[in-house]
Amino acid sequence: MIMLHELGHFATAKWSGMKVTQYFLGFGPRLWSIRRGETEYGVKAIPAGGYVRIVGMTMLEEVDPSDEARSYRQASFPRRLLVAFAGSGMHVILAFVLLFSLYAFSGAPTVTSPTISSLGQFSKGLSPAQRAGLKPGDMIVAVDGRKVTGLDSLITFVNKHPGDALTFVVDRNGHDLTLRVTPVDGRHVVEVIGGQRVQAANPSGPPKGVVGVVLTDVRNVSVGPLTAVGRAGSQLGSMFAQTFSGLAQVFSLHGLSNFAHQVAVAGNSKASGSSAASGQGSGGGTILSIVGAVQIGAQAARQDVAALLYLLAAINLFVGIVNLFPMLPLDGGHVAIAIYERARSRKGRSYHADVAKLMPVAYVFLLFVVLIGLGALYMNIVNPAQLPGG
């Protein structure tokens, strides 16, 4: 993701005629590199990000006079904006592609008719579902001539008919199939769940029909490519709004105070993680480190591909938006400087900002970012982040 961000800067700088001298994964000592033309490509020892080096990003940089004309600072205003925005633009494109893949291929979670996710196991003998031939993936369409309208109504109906032969109509791979299922009285049934024996119903309670299935009314449903484009665009817009709302919440005075408290008590309490993009989660949200992002990413991958794709889209959008904050060394700082210089320039005379005056503020901002990052890293190591619902 980071190298695709840098690829956006790299490609637009090359297209704009700027001189690009390096495109590297990682920081620190060089492990491997190769030169092609005027650009060196390679890998460094600390895989904590990556960078592309464009000549003359600020007026503080010393540039060979022969390269000055091709420096970033001498480029036209539109081309400087293009290069500065390109990194975040790549994140938006990636988020859209991930959302498109979610809707078109893996399918988005959609409320459907009750569907059998798995068959239960009885301690003695086969369950009614197994005897009748029900299978995981069967969508229950009707029971005893009554159209199934929801999960709760289906469970209530079956619970009221222990010992009665019921006619189930299920949709299996697009074809309707009629099966006869006779619920048994759960008061006399022991189920095996996760290797443990569990009584299916209160032995001293009223009769309760059970058939031995685990039901869900949510499944991933994919759509056609054109529909997926529209839904991905709509979802991207919603995620933009959620991201800005989450940032305002988490980085408010109250949010930062809450984050400081979470860091202080991290060793004594179990702090729960939150979405890196929306800032939503228990306790009003928190800030994740790269370790926390990997933790919830692994949990999302265990849930299903759809959850992972959505999470990756959210992270990309979050990184893209945050990177446009108008402060060096973020790309938004270069955007702000370009706009300021354009506003101060007069016809025939370009104005160049004194970036040295901005550096004390930039150092304070960088220190703030480092402290936030270290605090989040500490929290995610002491109390691993948890994906809501995961």
> DSSP of 200-231, one letter per residue?
SS-TTS---EE--EEEEEEEEE---HHHHHHH
Phi-psi region of 163 (alpha: psi -120 to 50; beta: other; left: phi over 0): left
Residue type, 177: L
Q: For tokens 């956006």, name the residue.
A: 8
Task: Kindly provide the b/e burial profile for residues 247-286, where b requires at least 16 CB atoms within 10 angstroms of the residue's own CB.
Answer: bebbbeeebeebbeebbeebeeeebbbbbbbbbebeebbb
C-alpha to C-alpha distance for 9 and 6, rounded to whole angstroms: 5
Crossing angle for the helix pair 77-101 and 225-250, nearest 10 degrees? 110
ω into 329 cis (within 30 of 0)? yes
With contact defined as beta carbons under 8 Å apart, do 67 and 56 qualify?
Answer: yes
Q: Which of 94, 98, 101, 95 is nearest to 8 (CA)?
A: 94
- Single out the catalytic residue among 6, 38, 61, 68: 6
3-state secondary structure of 118: strand
- Is 6 assigned a catalytic role? yes
What does residue 57 show for φ and ψ, rounded to 5 degrees? -70, -30
With contact defined as beta carbons under 8 Å apart, do 9 and 86 qualify?
Answer: yes
Q: Which of 27, 77, 74 is nearest to 48 (CA)?
A: 27
Question: What residues are labeled active site?
Answer: 6
